[in-house]
Amino acid sequence: MYRSAIEYLKAWGIRQSRKPLVIRGARQVGKTFIVREFAREFQNYVEINLETDIHVLSYFKSSDPKEIIELLSLHYNTSIVPGQTLLFFDEIQAAPELFAKLRYFYELMPGLHVIAAGSLLEFILEEHEFSMPVGRIEYLHLGPMNFSEFLLSTGNGTLLDFLKKFSLGETFPLPIHQKLVSLFKTFLIVGGMPESIKAYLDKRSFADSDRVKMNVLSTYMDDFSKYRKRINHELLTTVFKAMPSLTGSKVKYSTISNKHRSAEVAAALNRLFLSKICCPVYHCSARGIPLGAGRSDKVFKTLFLDVGLMCSALGLTMANIVALDDVSLVNKGEISEQFAGQHLLYRKDFYYEPELYYWDRENPGSNAEVDYVIAHGPTIVPVEVKAGKTGSLKSLHLFVRERGLKTGVRMNLDVPSAVRCAGALPNSDRYDYNLISMPCYMIGELDRFLEDQTNKNPLNRD
């Protein structure tokens, strides 16, 4: 299966300023897979699982990487040579002391390619008792496979090439659109977890894919036993099971559990955030860049890790998705917002830590909410995920007018278009901006479309 992160690893591998690379992400998003694929670039590959190869932990008592390498070479009966060998420490959270010593590989053996990964790595980063190797390591943030990777993995590379070459204003062939909508619906159920996609591709079986996803969900709950010293195991399971149905909704702790104090629920939810099983989407004032400067830590929505996992947790099948028409599907917020959100969360280069925001205003008789707010360069861009014509985008119109923006985005399942959107809201000034309307399956082209709009003359009025 294709992962664009492998290309990032190849670029990292030839950089002279390369540092030991730490891959961060939830369990089973494909961290080990991309490293093993990248290992094909080397003459020799040494993979050490620090959860199972516990007998090698004593080798890391030294702070001299040359001494460590000599011991590992003897233990695994192989040569570890800078420039020729890829050394991979998997499940590094099992040996926090090694994480601290990655700095010495950078300082004393910079020619050796070293990668580390861990499914629960965020916990030692949050609660570490050692000196962090600041400035001597770099990160790669990995999420589930996106729709573009899904197209390539399912043999639909020509469709992806078409999407990458398409320009707003051109006619979009309806049969191509219908085929992409069908593939989009398949992705909603199969999701972006690599093992789920592989299971589906082997026999084109949704049942096989669902079996994998249910096993992944069970694995996450099995992991909760590792948190027993930190958090109530029963409460953590309760919060985890509530998350899929709360996607797109503002979090209220009493909705998750009315049997526990808010502080307890918040602590359990933070554990899930650290494990990357779900992610907060914080409210922000969106008055300038960076968006995080206007973040409200106490007001947030949540995203689940993956839309396919979410559908399985909710008991949704392909038959349920097919039964919905395109408008109903997009308006079924917990599905459409999840798909868009997980793609927007990881839309930047891999070295950026994922973050996502939304905006709302709660005034008596004048509530408004924009699903997502992103930054494109120095510009704020609102993104609404819904069906309907421009007249139904009241919150988007309001936000654009209040912030004086030039561009807004609507995601639905109609063919792509771009128009000049102008009008007036009741008891307010006029709004006038470029509206990019694009089908959900084109979300990978969003930044290209935004760049094109920046460089073009204003569009004709509609």
460, part of any domain: no
Residue 404 is which amino acid?
Answer: G
The whole-number pLDDT of residue 387 equals 55
86-130 confidence digits (pLDDT tens) = 999 999 988 888 888 899 999 999 999 999 998 777 766 666 566
State whether 286 and 359 are in the same domain: yes
In angstroms, rounded to a whole number, what is the distance separating the alpha carbons of residues 267 and 245?
A: 19
Displacement of CA 250 from its chain's centroid (Å): 19
pTM of the model: 0.93
Same domain, 257 and 361: yes
90 and 201 both lie in a single domain: no
Residue 462, domain member (yes or no)? no
Domain that holds residue 99: 4-141
Q: Per the structure block, which two tokens stand in for 443?
A: 């979300």
**Do 120 and 209 share a domain, yes or no?**
no
Exposure string (b/e) for 372-397, b if CB count within 10 Å is 16 or more?
bbbbbeeebbbbbbbbeebeebebbb
On whether residue 358 sits in a domain, the answer given is yes
Same domain, 86 and 191: no
Token pair 């600041």: residue: 134
The three-state (H, E, C) secondary structure of the chain, written as one string: CCCHHHHHHHHHHHCCCCCCEEEECCCCCCHHHHHHHHHHHCCEEEEEECCCCHHHHHHHHCCCHHHHHHHHHHHHCCCCCCCCEEEEEECHHHCHHHHHHHHHHHHHCCCCEEEEEECCHHHHHHHCCCCCCCCCCEEEECCCCCHHHHHHHCCCHHHHHHHHHCCECECCCHHHHHHHHHHHHHHHHHCCCHHHHHHHHHHCCHHHHHHHHHHHHHHHHHHHHHHCCCCCHHHHHHHHHHHHHHCCCECCHHHHCCCCCHHHHHHHHHHHHHCCCEEEEEEECCCCCCHHHHEEEEEEEEEECCHHHHHHHHCCCHHHHHHCCHHHHHHCHHHHHHHHHHHHHCCCCCCCCCCCEEEEECCCCCCEEEEEEEEECCEEEEEEECCCCHHHCHHHHHHHHHHCCCEEEEEECCCCEEEEEEEECCCCCEEEEEEEEEEHHHHHHHHHHHHHHHHCCCCCEC
Instruction: Confirm whether 120 is domain-assigned.
Output: yes
Domain co-membership, 225 together with 316: yes
Residue 252 and residue 117 share a domain:
no
Tell me how many domains the chain contains.
2
85-90 β-sheet, strand order: 44-49, 85-90, 113-118, 21-24, 138-141
Check which CATH number belongs to the domain holding 124 and give it.
3.40.50.300
Same domain, 121 and 206: no
| 295 and 160 within one domain | yes
Last residue of some domain: 101, 124, 141? 141
Which pLDDT belongs to residue 328? 63
**Mean pLDDT split into 10-residue runs, the chain, 462 residues:** 96 95 95 97 96 90 93 96 97 86 94 92 66 84 98 97 96 97 95 97 94 96 76 88 91 92 94 93 95 94 96 90 70 82 97 96 80 96 75 85 94 93 80 94 97 68 40
Within-domain flag for 413: yes
Show which of 112, 141, 170 is a domain's final residue. 141
Examine residue 87 and state whether it is found in any structural domain, yes or no. Answer: yes
- pLDDT tens digits along 303-312: 999 999 999 9
The confidence score (pLDDT) of residue 460 equals 39
Residues 308, 338 share a domain: yes
Q: Are residues 170 and 243 in the same domain?
A: yes
Per the DSSP assignment, residues forming a β-bridge with 89 are 48, 116
Among 74, 109, 141, identify where a domain stops. Answer: 141
461 assigned to some structural domain: no
230 and 349 together in one domain: yes
Position 321 scores a pLDDT of 85
